Chain A
Amino acid sequence: NAGVTQTPKFRILKIGQSMTLQCTQDMNHNYMYWYRQDPGMGLKLIYYSVGAGITDKGEVPNGYNVSRSTTEDFPLRLELAAPSQTSVYFCASSYEIPVVGEQFFGPGTRLTVL
């Protein structure tokens, strides 16, 4: 099992550019999440999905979009990148409720917007 994989590991964008952060999991989890972590801060939820075709906003969704066409993949799209989106992005997946909570995280994507 590779677990949760994310690509790319690092990326530098110019203001106004767009990109897609890829996330794949091979654990057959229905629940998947995108978080961002700013320096000295905790992780904040951007979007989540409870299954293929079902997504919803988290705490900080502005400037991002997601899609979930398969159980395995949950890409995060940044449109019109802004310096405020400079952060480390983590994708995670978990088993369904009622087994709550333990989320398996990918290694992260470090994004810089200049």
Chain B
Amino acid sequence: DQQVKQNSPSLSVQEGRISILNCDYTNSMFDYFLWYKKYPAEGPTFLISISSIKDKNEDGRFTVFLNKSAKHLSLHIVPSQPGDSAVYFCAATSNAGGTSYGKLTFGQGTILTVHP
């Protein structure tokens, strides 16, 4: 039972254009969402997060949008750069009851390729 899904295994965009990565979740208890970026042979690194009390969070070129009614979030990268080429993971956790201990449920990842 995949509670967090990234249905696009890969995405290819031109440098300077917008990259949009999508993520869907099924567990209504999730109330905090994160995006991680992963280069080959390295561990994931934290990119940006959003709480369920917000619908948008922005950090430089990266913006995450949350649509709770659709149980959908997206990561926008504008403008895209070749150095953004990596695997992007969506992750979710639940703070309800204070017992999540930060445990994350990850999606399968989307490989982003930004062409010069």
Contacts and interface: CB of A to CB of B under 8 A. Distances in A.
Interface of A: 4, 31, 33, 35, 40-45, 48, 50, 56, 58-59, 90, 92, 94, 97-98, 100-108
A101 B108 contact: no
Which secondary structure characterizes the binding site on chain A? strand
A48 B107 CA distance: 19
Contact of A90 (B4, B32, B34, B44): B44
| Residue among A35, A43, A48, A58 with most chain B CB within 10 A | A43
A15 to B, nearest CB: 26
A107 B93 contact: no
Nearest to A58: B103
B44 A101 contact: no
Contacts of B103: 33, 45, 48, 58
Contact of B106 (A42, A98, A102): A42
A17 B14 CA distance: 47
B90 to A, nearest CB: 8
Contact of B43 (A56, A101, A108): A108
Interface of B: 4, 6, 9, 32, 34, 36, 41-46, 49, 89, 91, 93, 95, 98, 100-109
A100 B9 contact: no
A108 B87 CA distance: 15
A108 B44 CA distance: 9
Contacts, number: 75
B46 A48 contact: no
Nearest to A93: B102
A78 B42 CA distance: 22
Given A90-B43, A90-B44, 7 more contacts: A4-B43, A33-B102, A42-B91, A43-B104, A97-B95, A104-B46, A105-B36
A8 to B, nearest CB: 14
A45 B104 contact: yes
Given A97-B98, A97-B101, A41 B46 contact: no
A101 B102 contact: yes
B46 A43 contact: no
Contacts of A33: 102-104
